Structure 1
Amino acid sequence: MAIGISLYPEHASFERNAAYVERAAAHGCTRVFSCLLSAEGDRASLAGEFSALSRVCHDHGMEVVLDVAPAVFSRVGARPDDLSFFAEAGADGIRLDEGFGGPDVAAMTADPHCLVVELNASTADGSLEAALACGADKGRLQACHNFFPQRYTGLGLDFLVRESARAKDAGVRLAAFVSSSAPSAFGPWPGADGLPTLEMHRGLPVSFQARHLYALGLVDDLLVSNCFATDDELAALAAARPGTVAMAVAPVPSVGDAERDVLAFAHRVRGDLSPYLFRSTASRVVFADRDFPAHDTRDLEPGDVVVVNERGGRYKGELQVVRRPIPNDGTRNVVATVEDSEARLLDCLDSWVPFTFVEEA
């Protein structure tokens, strides 16, 4: 699992990009995406520009992948069996945005410069299967979804799940993009509507985008597509954790200390699912000696987070997340509510899925 940033040297000074690399590395970023599709210049000038930036990235422990297409290959004199230009530019890998068949991809994975070859995971063209059928070295293959500058053109959730499963089934590392909301953030092309992979993420905080993509359980690496992300956004990206569903909640004013401890606990959905509740039963064992007096026992709505109170007998201390409206018999304390903007994350819960709560808007 890795997090990273994007750089567009044609739109910002070397000094500004270098400072951003230093900031990102301090937040744990280890990947850099950059784009040769939008860069201008001949082979020598591009190699010089990108190699200088790559050295800064490498000095901070970050790998560099350059976005390319057949037109870029023609401009810099590259071939599937000769990736020397990209090595000169300091790249650790190349992302094939479009236009390469299985034999070409297989040849790239055999190039002696040992670059990673990253396929476009959003094209739905069977390129991964074709490359593997042609003998591509899977150890040098990975995949990365697109980002989308124009509003309403980003991926739908069902499509992302379907196409991501191809990479997951093949055992190939997969990346996707989250988008900074910084007012001055930019990408390789004109536009101010952000650069998300998922259309539903456009305009939403980096924290939610990252937590949602991780909750889906399909994406390994997350990259901020536009720059420059703020320190708060980089910190939020670093705080997101794969392998769990982390939901932002608003605790009720009367939440008790014991209930706060239950909220802070690392939960897991009980396997035998109810259509009304997601249940986490370990908390009733861990907090068996705590007191949970009754309060806020109103009827329940989807997204309510409840802790069973002392009237619940052996169920005291159990945490439940409400899925459907249900009456409250007085045994369930409402301790928090999943934020409306976080409701999508409830769809990611299922039998034995781990989940946690974070307090943020």
Structure 2
Amino acid sequence: MTMRQLGLSIYPNHSNEAEDKAYLLLGEKYGFTRIFMSMLEANDVKATEEKFRRIIEFGNQHGFKTTLDVSPRIFDQLGISYTDLAFFKRIGVAAVRLDQGFNGITEADLSYNPEQLIIELNMSNDTGYLDNILSYQANVPFLYGCHNFYPQVGTGLEDEFFERCTKRFKSRGIHTAAFVSSQVGTQGPWNVNDGLPTRESDRYLPITTQAKSMFMSGLIDDVIIGNAYASEAELKALAALDRYKLSFNVQTVAGINPVERQILLQENHYRRGDSNALVARSTESRVKYRPDANRPHDNTHDFERGDILIGNDDFGVYKNELQVVLKPHHDLRKNKVGSIDDAELPLLKYLYPWTKFTFTAAD
């Protein structure tokens, strides 16, 4: 399986070099390994070449690999052909992202470039674009995919469209990436910046929730923050995520007891394979904690989607079984011990049979 990475974006045509370097050092501290940079907005590419080269070289020295976003206009301005990527190698990039597609055979030919640069394709289309390129016997290990980001509110991809586009690439073994949006970053490539996510549904969510959804979909290998500069708190929170296991942020109830807290926060959970529509059941705890008493509490109201329940003393053999509510219901034999944060309720769709999951308490 491809190792999942975190990435940052910087915009040398709009930023201060010292601030960019400080941001990259912060990213290095928290384990970020990708840089996304755009040349699309450059009016004079040759005049900005040195600026790009310096910051890319700095990133290379600190463990990053840089992808540079380009278009046919950039090739024209540089006076280079698609058969010669020496310019990009010279300024130190690891990958060239083609914001606009060509004719299929051009992309296939580019994937054999002697500089061995990754050719990154625009994933935000639901067409036969990739199939066309592959039909020309492209060098698949050197083809990556990366979605667009969308600075204007309301214009990000719909979730279902995003999934269809991404599956075209993932099903063919192509390495994938997409963008999430910082809630404090104000810098992007254009003079409109309402955030820079790939999916519209992510625009105003906590950055960790955006990234969890990307990773847990199983469709995205690399998550890149689209806008600069994300806060240190956001970088630290992303670094702390488990990129391979589903986790939920929860608020615990005041009446939670020590046994329930132990079950909720210290045990590794998985949803039983014989799933049902009412609750996601994690049943190992009822065996491990069978001798432990658990008096009823917080059990007289209706349970809502995202509530977390643990069987109490009145639940017989199901005492101390943990359940995540999928459909509202009422049952005096279950104690409510917490609830998943509202922003993370959409993550429940990734709680498949046998899925491993954990909880993190905010309190």
Answer whether TM exceeds 0.5 for this pair: yes
Corresponding position of 1:340: 342
**Residue 53 of structure 2, aligned match among 46, 51, 54:** 51
Match of 2:143 among 141, 155, 166: 141
Matching of residue 307 in structure 1 with residue 291 in structure 2: no
Q: Secondary structure at the match of 2:171?
A: helix
Corresponding residue to 1:73 among 65, 72, 75: 75
The answer on 1:104 being equivalent to 2:127 is no
Q: Give per-residue Cα distances to partners, 1:322-343, cap 9 Å, x unaligned.
A: 1112221x22110001222222
Equivalent residue pairs, number = 358
Query: What is the correspondence of 1:10-29 to structure 2 with a 5 Å cutoff?
Result: 10-29=13-32
- The percent identity for this pair of structures is 37
Match of 2:239 in 1: 238
Q: Deviations over 1:117-155 (max 9, x none)?
A: 111110223222222111111111111111100111001
Distance 2:162 2:264 in 1: 31
Q: TM-score, normalised by structure 2?
A: 0.95
CA distance in 2 between partners of 1:171 and 1:253 (Å) = 47
Over aligned residue pairs, what C-alpha RMSD do you find? 1.5
Structure 2, unmatched stretches of 5+, are: none
Partner Cα distance (1:78, 1:291) in 2: 74
TM-score (norm 1): 0.95
Q: State the shift of 1:289 in Å.
A: 4.2
Cα deviation digits, residues 47-80 of structure 1 (max 9, x gap): 3221111111011100000001111111112322
For the pair 1:254 / 2:255, whether they are aligned, the reply is: yes
Once the 2 structures are TM-superposed, how far is the Cα of residue 37 of structure 1 from its aligned partner?
Answer: 0.2
1:46 touches 1:89 (CA, 8 Å); kept in 2?
Answer: no
Tell me how far apart the structure 2 counterparts of residues 285 and 168 of structure 1 sit (CA, whole Å). 39
| Cα distance in 2 between the residues matched to 1:314 and 1:327 | 19
Q: What do the CA deviations read for 1:99-120 (whole angstroms, capped 9, x no partner)?
A: 3221111111111000001111
Taking the aligned partners of 2:198 and 2:351, their CA distance within structure 1 comes to 22
Deviates more, 1:265-274 or 1:283-292: 283-292
Q: Residue 197 of structure 1: SS of its match in structure 2?
A: coil
C-alpha separation between the residues in 2 aligned to 1:192 and 1:95?
A: 21
1:200 aligns with 2:230: no
The question of whether the paired residues in 1 share the 8 Å contact of 2:65 and 2:94 is answered with yes
In 2, Cα distance between equivalents of 1:353 and 1:168: 20
Q: Alpha-carbon deviation of 1:300?
A: 1.9
Q: Which runs of 5+ in 1 are unaligned?
A: none
SS of structure 2 residue aligned to 1:111: coil
Query: Where does 1:1-361 land on structure 2 (aligned, <5 Å)?
Result: 1-43=4-46, 45-182=47-184, 185-264=186-265, 265-298=267-300, 299-328=302-331, 330-360=332-362
